[in-house]
Structure 1
Amino acid sequence: MTETLGRLTYPEITGQPEALAAALQQCAVQSDWIDRYLASSDYDEIIFIGSGSSYYQSMTMAATARLWLNRPATALPSSEIYLFRRQNAVEGRRYLLVGVSRSGESTEVLLALESVKDLAGWTRCGITCHEDSSMARMVPCLVSPLGKERSTVMTKSFSSMTYMMQAAIAKAAALADMEQELAATAKASRDNVERADRFAQRLAGQGPFSRYLFLGMGAYYGLSQEAMLKVKEMAVVWSESFGTLEFRHGPKSVVEPGALVCVLVSESARSYELKVAEEMKQYGATVVLLTAREGADTAFADAVFVTGCPDSTDEARAVLNLPPLQYLGYYTALSKGIDPDSPRNLTQVVKI
């Protein structure tokens, strides 16, 4: 029975190296899009919008844009623009609204883009995996060539779209060093995915855990949210996500023996984040660290996954955190006899 489960999801997680390489090449093909939108000084602020996983990857896109482009950038759920635009966008400012949608068919992102079509000060564009989608016909889009998926949950589409937007941002900002770091990320992806497969299979074998908690900060906060969603979608287990230091302000009360606490460790705030992880270990949690480098300061953890590219910035290697988290959801689902290809109550495209 288990041999028939996850037939779509597994190869899509495994196919990330090729998807990243294709996304990087596509940025050169679509350099005009990058110049027209991300490199333009015509906007006061960039707003990335998406729903579900697309919203979570928008968080990492926005964090990268703020740092590398040195300009205001925000991530919002699509519905916040469609239904609560005035509460989220100040009149008189010039906005670049970037729709983020794997399928390009999500009702909420289409409604949000349509809602500002005739408003002064709003320019629209998007990023998707389907060049013939409704969104791609509505606005000019970056397209991840190998991001298309048959499974319901987002895996390689999330990685490739996030990575592609980061590569576009680096090119728009003329940051040659960041472009080199992103190229290194793509090269490291194959080894990363292979190791992540083995790592997550072992980790899932130690479960099931009473609760799954994912912590991240900066550009990794959106990734921790995505990790929470992947385990919840695929394995139908209760999971939560918090900012790493914010977790200490109340939410840590749920930590106990049997809980899994996974920390996406940045180099920017490494010492602070590891202190939080050590505290959760003292409370009896199984502590997992995703980090660019292993050392004496990580020896306390129950499991450590080294993402690779330790000399790169947190943002440039961000997507290397995703494979072990995606595989964790996959193998946890299999251990419960659940098909990760067909999550309960979910469809690939959400329409209203």
Structure 2
Amino acid sequence: MCGIVGAVSQRNIVPILIQGLQRLEYRGYDSCGVAVHQGGELRRSRSTSRVAELDALVQQDGVEGLVGIAHTRWATHGAPAVHNAHPHFSHGTGNDAKSAKAGRIALVHNGIIENHDELRADLKARGYEFTSQTDTEVIAHLIDSIYQGDLFDAVQRAIVQLKGAYAIAVFCREEPQRVVGAREGSPLVLGVGQGENFLASDAMALAGVTDQIVYLEEGDVVDLQQGKYWITTRQAGDQFVRVERPVKTVHAHSGAAELGPYRHYMQKEIFEQPRAIADTLEGIEAITPELFGDKAAAIFPQIDRVLILACGTSSYSGLTGKYWLESIAKIPCAVEIASEYRYRESVPDPRTLVITISQSGETADTLAALKHARAQGMTHTLTICNVSTSAMVRECELAFITHAGVEIGVASTKAFTTQLVALFLLTLVLAKQRGTLPEKGEVAALRNLRHLPAAVQSVLALEPQIMAWADGFTSKQHALFLGRGRHYPIALEGALKLKEISYIHAEAYPAGELKHGPLALVDAEMPVVTIAPADDLLEKLKSNMQEVRARGGQLYVFADADTKIESSEGVHVIRMPEHYGALSPILHVVPLQLLAYHTACARGTDVDKPRNLAKSVTVE
């Protein structure tokens, strides 16, 4: 969601800015733009098409320069339209007539400014003209109104008036070799080059340009010039003091976005799951607390309960983990939607392990929920994350880094299954520490985990059968997904995948809840996808399936081989290769991913970039 790239160099930086935006396309966006300092003025090109079209536009317009900023926007304030696209320029009376005509400040912004209405009213009263509906344009005008010849000073004075979250990159017509960045609540990194410096919302944007990265912290303001930079940070009383931040060598995955023989990145990532799981498990020879960090051995004995904070797909992995943690480790576990948690009164317990789950590690709602939990005295924190350099990892005491690799498709697949692997490992560690995991159980669990990549590979071989099912879903407008026990969260994930990329309205229910309302929706036009593992709830599930058939519903069943569920009129069955016990949810989610993918393909939707959605949700 929203990407920033900025640069100060001795060479034309437009190709670098465009390349950076291309690296950030996976995050999702609906407009994009570039602005540079050229010929003593600000020049920009903006588009509501893809970055490739923007590239053609800047070449057509002859846009080039040594200083510039670029952005991909995911619409919040104002529709996806060129006049709302970033970069924004200041327009108005300003401090001189020239500023009003040509624009003096150029700015890009990630985040949401909560007090933009009152700032807008004040700036309009002072003669500033607004050409967009965005909260971002307010910041450009505000900086312009304060500017007195020192952009760095103007940005510092402006941000103390902002309420909300932001990462910004700014340059000024009057200072042609300078870009200033600032962050509060949204990620921003500094890239250090040879005689040139860069800004980006994600280190991946700078892959191939520099691997020397500084992760800016909350309240930081950075001044970039060609051969130098400096950073200040905001302290109590809105004072700014000079600080040093460590420079880290970060090898971003510049080649990870190759599509290869696959039709879409989502398909590629579904088929990468055996490798992603194997990479996540690599080197694990025993169940030890140290898998989750050096402090884990001291922290875990202090834990009486677990609180999982996550959003979307990550919350469904957390719900699956709850079943494991309570049944195997015998530890109470609550799962909270991060965007709701901090806005309700809850009962804190300092002996709680607070777990955040996030693919990017930059999810704004989850970061805010984490800070709220800590403020309530729950200081023992662990994150399960796919990005080792993310804000979530830096904020938590403990971390488990999944090794899913870069995930381009907006609809998460391999990140989800590796999160489940991490949660199962955590369950085993806590069970062993609490005495609920016998030695034989540990050996068997490790053996099953090592076999998991091969088991997932065998599920992927079901793709041709699932493609045949997908053809029958293309004309449907609604679908139900059913699961029981630890497979209910997998049903939730399957429904989410279908609605995300095919735009079919889908809901998931615990199968036992059918007769408490959803059964009223069942008819011949309502496909009912059912997860049917060979577990203790199988007979109950079969009764729920009969309730569907009695109302003329069409059942699509993913059944383990020994369930004795046969295909018949209105009952379509695909047999899973094997039953996998406690790890069965990881296997059963894979065919649901494939069903959603092939249904979306058949309906002709934009699979990797579904409408209205973003990959990395960095605003509330």
The normalised TM-score by structure 2 is 0.52
Q: 1 CA distance for matches of 2:279 and 2:376?
A: 35
Closer/same/farther in 2, CA of residues 335 and 231 from structure 1, 3 Å limit:
same
Q: CA deviation at 1:275?
A: 1.3
Q: 2 CA distance for matches of 1:210 and 1:118?
A: 44
Q: Match for 1:157: what amino acid?
A: A
Q: CA deviation at 1:81?
A: 2.8
Q: 2 CA distance for matches of 1:67 and 1:103?
A: 29
Q: CA deviation at 1:309?
A: 3.3
Contact 2:348/2:376 (8 A) holds in 1: no
**Counterpart secondary structure, 2:481:** strand
User: Are 1:157 and 2:415 an aligned pair?
Assistant: yes
User: Are 1:228 and 2:485 an aligned pair?
Assistant: no
**Counterpart secondary structure, 1:122:** coil
Contact 2:538/2:563 (8 A) holds in 1: no
Using the TM superposition, name which of 139-148 and 213-222 deviates more: 139-148
Match of 2:220 in 1: none
User: Are 1:18 and 2:284 an aligned pair?
Assistant: no
Within the candidate set 14, 27, 32, 2:290 is matched to 32
User: Are 1:333 and 2:603 an aligned pair?
Assistant: no
Contact 2:528/2:553 (8 A) holds in 1: yes
Match of 2:428 in 1: 170
Within the candidate set 315, 322, 332, 1:62 is matched to 322
Closer/same/farther in 2, CA of residues 50 and 256 from structure 1, 3 Å limit:
same
Closer/same/farther in 2, CA of residues 251 and 64 from structure 1, 3 Å limit:
same
Match of 2:588 in 1: 321
Contact 1:46/1:72 (8 A) holds in 2: yes
Match of 1:280 in 2: 548
Q: 1 CA distance for matches of 2:348 and 2:430?
A: 26
Match of 2:343 in 1: 83
Closer/same/farther in 2, CA of residues 292 and 119 from structure 1, 3 Å limit:
same
- Which of the pair has more CA radius of gyration? 2
Contact 1:82/1:108 (8 A) holds in 2: no
The C-alpha deviation readout for 1:15-55, integer Å capped at 9, x for no partner, is: 11111111222655985144754982312210111101111
Say what the alpha-carbon RMSD is for the aligned residues: 2.3
Q: 1 CA distance for matches of 2:549 and 2:452?
A: 30
Contact 2:313/2:416 (8 A) holds in 1: yes
The alignment covers a number of residue pairs equal to 343
Greater percentage in strand:
2
Contact 1:147/1:160 (8 A) holds in 2: no
Contact 1:127/1:143 (8 A) holds in 2: yes
Match of 1:304 in 2: 573
Match of 1:207 in 2: 473
Match of 1:128 in 2: 385
Contact 1:26/1:144 (8 A) holds in 2: no
User: Are 1:269 and 2:529 an aligned pair?
Assistant: no
Match of 2:560 in 1: 292
Q: 1 CA distance for matches of 2:606 and 2:562?
A: 34
Closer/same/farther in 2, CA of residues 317 and 299 from structure 1, 3 Å limit:
same
User: Are 1:144 and 2:412 an aligned pair?
Assistant: no
Match of 1:345 in 2: 612
Q: 2 CA distance for matches of 1:101 and 1:306?
A: 32
Q: Match for 2:541: what amino acid?
A: E
Closer/same/farther in 2, CA of residues 323 and 72 from structure 1, 3 Å limit:
same
Q: CA deviation at 1:93?
A: 5.2
Q: Match for 1:232: what amino acid?
A: K
The normalised TM-score by structure 1 is 0.90
Q: CA deviation at 1:121?
A: 4.0
Contact 2:307/2:352 (8 A) holds in 1: yes
Closer/same/farther in 2, CA of residues 91 and 335 from structure 1, 3 Å limit:
closer
Contact 1:104/1:133 (8 A) holds in 2: yes
Closer/same/farther in 2, CA of residues 326 and 170 from structure 1, 3 Å limit:
same
Q: Match for 1:243: what amino acid?
A: P
Where in structure 2 are there 5+ consecutive unaligned residues? 1-260, 433-440
Q: CA deviation at 1:296?
A: 3.5
Closer/same/farther in 2, CA of residues 251 and 25 from structure 1, 3 Å limit:
same
Match of 1:256 in 2: 523
Where in structure 1 are there 5+ consecutive unaligned residues? none
